[in-house]
Chain A
Amino acid sequence: MADATLQHDTVQHGVPGAYEAPLFGAYSKKVGMWLFLASDSLTFGALLFAFSYNRLYTIPWPTPFHAESIANATIMTACLLSSSLTMVMAVFAAQRGDRAWTRNWLLATMVFGTAFIVLHGMEWSKLIGEGLTIPGFPKPPSAATGELADISKNVPQFPATFFGLTAMHMLHVTIGVIYLGVVAFRKWFLPILGVLWIAGYLLIPADNVFHYGIHALLLGLIVGAVILYLKPKDYDAHDVEVSGLYWHFVDLVWMFIFPLVYLMSTKIQ
C-alpha cells in the first residue's frame, strides 16, 4: 500500500458545504461527548439499579446517617452545584476569547471539585473508622464497635452499595478535575498531578483506603500524558464547552446519589 500515501497540501475537506449538514447540528466533539455521556449515564444507571435492587429486598435497610453526615453531604452537594456555575462562567469566558478568565473560572471549578473530593474522602475515613467497611478495605488499627460496625456485619449490602456507588462517582469527579486541569493548564498540569500523587501516597497512612485510591491520580497522569502527546494543541472554546459537559454530568449523577444514598438512609428519630 505504498502508493496509498498521496501528497496533497490543499485538501478540500475543510470547505463548508462539502458535507451534508450534521444531523445533530452541533460540532462533532460535542456530539461525541454527549454520546459518551449517554453511555456513562447507563453505567451509573446500572449501578443505581443494582443499588435499588439490593435495597428493595434487604429488609430492614439500615438508616444510620446522623445530622453530621447529612450536613457534610449537603455541603458537598453545594460545592458541586457551585462548581457547575463556575464551569458555565468558564465556558462564557472561553467563548468571548478571554483566556485569563477561562483559566480562572476553570481553576475555581477545580477548587470546588477538589473540595468535594476532600470532604468526601474525610467522610469515608470517618465512617470506616467507626466501623462501616467492606472486607476488602484495609483494617483500621483498632476494631470499631457500635452501630456502623454492626451494620457492616449484618447487612453487608449497605456498605457495599454505599462505597461502590460513591467510589465510582468520586472517581468520575477526580477524572473531571484532571480533565479540567489539562484543559486549563495543558502540560504544566502534569507535574502538579505527579506531586499530588506522590505526596498523597506518602502522607496518607497505609491503613487508609485512599493510600491506594490515590493511584487514580497516577492513572490520570498517564492518560493525560498520552493524550497531550497525541494531541499537543491549544484548547479552544469548544474544548472548554465539551469538558464542561462532562463536569455537569458528574454533578447530575450526584443529584441522584445524594437523595438515594444519604437522604433515604437518615436516622429515624
Chain B
Amino acid sequence: MLRPEHTIFRAPFAVELQLEDTPSPDNFQKWQPGFPDTVRTFEVFTASGDKDEPGLVTGDGGFEDVPDAERILGGINMKGPQYAAIARHGSLVMWGFHSTPERLTDTGRRLYLNTLAYAVAHKGALVETLRLRPVRDDLDRALGIFLGLYPPERRLGMVRRHIGGEAVPPELVTDEALRARWLAERRPFLHPIDDGSNWETAYQLAVDVQARELGVANDAPAFLDAIAARLLADADDALAAALLARYVPGVAPAALRGWLREHRDALYFTEAGGWQWRVRGERATSPRLRRVGDERDGLVRLDADVSATTLTITMRIAEGWHAWSPKAVGQEPVAVAILPDSAFEVAGDLDWSDDGHGMLDGYCQIKVPIRRVAAGDRLHVAVTYTICDASTCKPPRTVELER
C-alpha cells in the first residue's frame, strides 16, 4: 500500500523513493488472494541487529468510507497488503514504524519530518466518524478469507460469530456459491445486531428486517427518500419512524424532509461510525468520558465509556488492593451515580465483574444499563469507591467523569 504521488513524499522535503522489489509476506496472499509475489518497498529505518519492538499497522476496512481519513503508506507486516503504517484521521497522523531516530535512513528521516508537517497542515481538520462498529467489509473478509483458515470443525461457529438473528445453514461453510448468494441477498439490509455493549455479539451483523421491509439498501440515499415518502403519506408510519430513529438519530419524523433539503449534498452513511446517516463537517462524539479535575489515585485507574444503552466503568486496581461490589456483605461497595445534569438515567441493575463473592481486583468492569431522558449527549457520572488491602482501607474517593 503505497501512494507515491502523495504530498507527504514531496513537501516540505523531497523524499527520493529508492524502490525495491521485496518478496511479499505469505500473509499478503492469504489476505488478498492473487496478490503479487513481490511488493515495492523502500527502507525507512536501517536494519537493527537487536530485537526491536514491532511497529503498528491498522486495517483498511471502513477506513476511507468518509473522507475524514486517508491511508498513505503500508509496509511489510503480518496482516494485509492494504493495511497502513502511515495514515491520517482528522488532524491526527499515524506513524506506525518503531525504532530510534539514529536508524532513520535519509529517506525515512525526510518522510518522518514531512509527516510532522503533514499533521500541522491539517490543523482544524475534524474526526467526523470513529471506528465503533463492524462493517460489511469485515463480514466479507470473514467469509471470504478467514473462514478457510479455520479448522473445518470450527468454521460454522466462526460464521455464527459474525452473523446473528437467524439460523445459519451448515451448507454455507462448504458451498462457496451458496454462501455468496446468501450473503448478497442480505448485504443491503445488514445492521449490527445490537449496540456493541455485549462482547459476545459485538461483531455480529444481522438482517434489519424493517430495512428489508422498506426494500431499499440502508446505505443508499434512496433509503432516506423512501422513509420520507412513507412519512409524507402517513405521519405516524411506525416502520418509517423506527428506521429514522435507528439510522438518523436526532432527526424527528416531522423534520426529515427539511433536513434532507438542507443537507442532501453533504450526507454520508457510515458503517464503522455507527451505521448512521450523518452530515459532513460534524465532529464525532466519543464514547470515552473525560475525567473531571487533575487529581489522580495511584492505586486505582478509572475510565468510562458509553454506548446507546450501556455505561461501562473500567477500574484497574493496583496489585494487592481490592474494592467491593454490593454482593459483598458488610463491605462498602463501589457506587455509581448518573448526575441530574445528564441526558441519561440508570435503567436497570448494574452488572459487576467481581470474583463471585463481591471482590473487585485487577482489571474489572461495571456495566450500567442506561436510557435517554433528554436531548443531547451530556453524561455526568460520579463513581465512589473504597479500596482496601489485607490490613487497611483507604478513605472513600469520588471520581467524576463527563462528556
Question: Are A and B bound to each other?
Answer: no
